[in-house]
Amino acid sequence: MKFNRDIIMKRIQGRTCSKATPAAATILGLSILAIAAFMLAPASHAATPPPRLVLQITVDQLRGDLPQRFLSGMGDGGFRYLLDNGVVYANAHHAHANTETIVGHATLATGAHPSDHGLVGNVWFDRASGQLVYNVEDARYPLLSAGADVDRATEIDPTQKVAKTDGRSPGAILVSTFSDELAISTAGKAKVFAVSVKDRGAISMAGHAGKAFWFSKQKGEFVTSRFYYDRYPEWVQAFNAARPAQRYANAQWELLRQPADYLLGDKDDQPWETAFGSFGRVFPHPYGPGDGKYFTTLLTLSPAGDELTLDFARQLVENEAIGADDVTDYLSVSFSSTDYVGHLFGPSSLEAEDNLLRLDRTLARLLAFVDEKVGLKNTLIVLSADHGGPEVPGQLNQFGIEADYVNPDEWDKAAGIENLKKRFGIGGELIQKFFPPYVYLDREVIGERGLSQAEVEQAVAAEMMKFKGVAMAVSSTALMHGRVPDTAMTRSILNGHNLKRSGDVYVVFEPHWFINDFDGLIVASTHGSPWQYDSFVPVIFAGAGLQPRRVYREIQTIDVARTLAAWTGTKPPSAASGQILVEAMP
């Protein structure tokens, strides 16, 4: 683009500087001319070399304030390294309402809202089969390990027990991920891997083109499915044969420091904490014998789960030669223990604090290992979380904040719903299934009666608004036709609404109110709301020569994948709608 210096100077002196002295006008004009020249000059073609490795770290249920809250007890190589040396986005949020594990992971992976990527919840109701569907189940691709059937799952995670098959794949992800695009861009030369304790934490990030491994509580080893391999690589067989989980047999989770050294040192025995069997609710927490019924489950309810994930990730980098050549590779490591600890004890517990101090050490070990093998200067690191988490109602009550648990079991028998049945001539159950946050109505019955789906939805939503603890109930038909107020709340619900998978009425609980029943186990805390404590997460880019800075403008997690694509020169994932985070670019 060309520009005429004389024309610009005349406009500057004649309009901008009409009341200034000639000397001042000249100085100001030259300054503005320099800015114009900078803006209009062709961009430099001296390309920044792409990183040899993109390391994407996702910490399950890491609310955005937590690393800073406990930073004084942390070392130099983990969170502190990232906060001191990275581009820190201090006001990052998920823009969808249902803040659950698969929803957040898939959003980080695709740069798309759940309305497009399709993972609207850990579980959704499939109307064709009349059954609940677990997000990554796929009967076509059974696990390679015999005896890892999910029907024998013994864990604090009811979504796993919903699954009807041990088969797993990314088939339910409707769009491409960043890792997919990296594989396509490099003609399959990029090595793409993901590891986590949770299957959904690994499968979502590996995308369709990568390979995923996760921890089987039934087998006590890392597993994968036939979607990825016909047989395990030899190094995986060797890793599992060494039975790394058994090193925790008859051991216990102990405090790193004396209680007085913790911010929450006097919070070790709070009445709302969950005592899961012999694990108890006070330190030390025993794991029990290595052949105990809940042994491997207890490992995941503690920092041991993250430590095992790190051990497997290190072997993966070593044996798959990750980051060893000039082609950019991708490794996702999703740490799950923070989520399980948060559910059992809440984020303001001594267990939560000690877990994060131990996670800090685990992160430091991971980054030191990557520095040794690849070099942090050759590695683009991005750390975020799939969601945040609420404080426990009992603790909030101590500060005068109204908070409580919600029990929806009797909703369909409530007087208001019974009246609706009579009004519409429906004799059976009107609510076919409620799996938070969606209510699924019996559309077959509604159709048989010749009723208006929109009218029934609106009537049910109006009744639900009367239930204690419900802040909002939104008809899906009204939402899709723009018949609801255009607010941040309704936009977040719309961002998560998929026509084929979402329910008929979306229920939002009051702030600090939520369901705490996990498959019959009463837990302290549960995420999944659109409120800030669930949407607020860290986003930190580091390594690869980035200069440290802190950014306070609001960003969304859909921006992460778009930025990674810009860094590596790939096209954005197919449904990515985020912005490039320019502060995190080279």
Determine, yes or no, domain membership for 561. no
Structural domain total, the chain: 3
Residues 335 and 413 in one domain: no
Residue whose pair of structure tokens reads 């948060």 in the numeric block:
342
Rounded Cα gap, residues 267 and 519, in angstroms: 27
Determine, yes or no, domain membership for 121. no
Rounded Cα gap, residues 232 and 238, in angstroms: 10
Rounded Cα gap, residues 10 and 459, in angstroms: 67
CATH number reported for the structural domain that contains residue 249 in this entry: 3.40.720.10
Q: What is the pLDDT of residue 425?
A: 86
Rounded Cα gap, residues 131 and 108, in angstroms: 28
> Tokens at residue 538, please?
């860290």
Rounded Cα gap, residues 77 and 69, in angstroms: 17
Residue 171: in which H helix or E strand, if any?
none
Which residues on adjacent β-strands are paired with residue 92? 537, 555
Q: Spell out where 34-96 has E strands.
A: 53-59, 87-93
Rounded Cα gap, residues 238 and 229, in angstroms: 16
- pTM of the full predicted structure? 0.91
Q: Are the C-beta atoms of residues 429 and 442 closer than 8 Å to each other?
A: yes
Parallel/antiparallel/unpaired status of strands 53-59 and 379-384: parallel
In Å, how far from its chain's centre is CA 209?
Answer: 20
Residues 214 and 278 in one domain: yes
Residues 80 and 96 in one domain: yes
Residues 95 and 10 in one domain: no
Determine, yes or no, domain membership for 377. yes
Determine, yes or no, domain membership for 331. yes
Q: Are the C-beta atoms of residues 167 and 223 closer than 8 Å to each other?
A: no
Residues 62 and 31 in one domain: no
Rounded Cα gap, residues 44 and 366, in angstroms: 35
CATH number reported for the structural domain that contains residue 489 in this entry: 3.30.1360.150
Residues 321 and 458 in one domain: no
Q: Spell out where 24-85 has E strands.
A: 53-59
Determine, yes or no, domain membership for 128. no
Q: Are the C-beta atoms of residues 77 and 97 closer than 8 Å to each other?
A: no
Residues 302 and 368 in one domain: yes
Determine, yes or no, domain membership for 46. no
Determine, yes or no, domain membership for 269. yes
Q: Determine phi and psi for 64, rounding to 5 degrees.
A: -60, -25
Q: Spell out where 234-320 has E strands.
A: 252-253, 285-286
Residues 255 and 361 in one domain: yes
Residues 383 and 468 in one domain: no
Domain that holds residue 21: 5-40
Q: Are the C-beta atoms of residues 73 and 262 closer than 8 Å to each other?
A: yes
Q: Determine phi and psi for 513, rounding to 5 degrees.
A: -115, 135
Q: How far is CA 225 from CA 30, 244, 330, in A?
A: 65, 21, 20
Q: Any idea what DSSP says for residue 136?
A: T
> Tokens at residue 127, please?
């109307």
Nearest partner of 256 among 74, 77, 62, judged by Cα:
74
Rounded Cα gap, residues 343 and 523, in angstroms: 6
Q: What is the pLDDT of residue 519?
A: 63
Output the furthest CA–CA distance in the chain (Å, rounded).
88
Residues 360 and 493 in one domain: no
Q: What is the pLDDT of residue 412?
A: 61
Rounded Cα gap, residues 474 and 294, in angstroms: 40
Residues 328 and 363 in one domain: yes
Which residues on adjacent β-strands are paired with residue 551? 89
Which residues on adjacent β-strands are paired with residue 58? 334, 384
Parallel/antiparallel/unpaired status of strands 87-93 and 555-556: parallel
Rounded Cα gap, residues 207 and 205, in angstroms: 5
Per DSSP, the chain holds a count of helices (H) and strands (E) of: 22, 22
Q: Any idea what DSSP says for residue 284?
A: S
- pLDDT (tens, 9 = 90+) of the chain, 586 residues, equals 333 444 434 443 443 444 444 444 444 443 443 444 334 434 443 467 899 999 999 999 999 999 999 999 999 999 999 999 999 999 999 999 999 999 999 999 999 999 999 999 999 999 989 999 999 999 999 999 987 665 444 567 777 778 889 999 999 999 999 999 999 999 999 999 999 999 999 999 999 999 999 999 999 999 999 999 999 999 999 999 999 999 999 999 999 999 999 999 999 999 999 999 999 999 999 999 999 999 999 999 999 999 999 999 999 999 999 999 999 999 999 999 999 999 999 999 999 999 999 999 999 999 999 999 999 999 999 999 999 999 999 999 999 999 999 988 766 667 787 888 888 888 777 888 888 899 999 999 999 999 999 999 999 999 999 999 999 999 999 999 999 999 999 999 999 999 999 999 999 999 999 998 766 678 999 999 999 999 999 999 999 999 999 999 999 999 999 999 999 999 999 999 999 999 999 9
Nearest partner of 235 among 321, 361, 151, judged by Cα:
321
Determine, yes or no, domain membership for 47. no
Q: Any idea what DSSP says for residue 290?
A: T
Residues 96 and 199 in one domain: yes
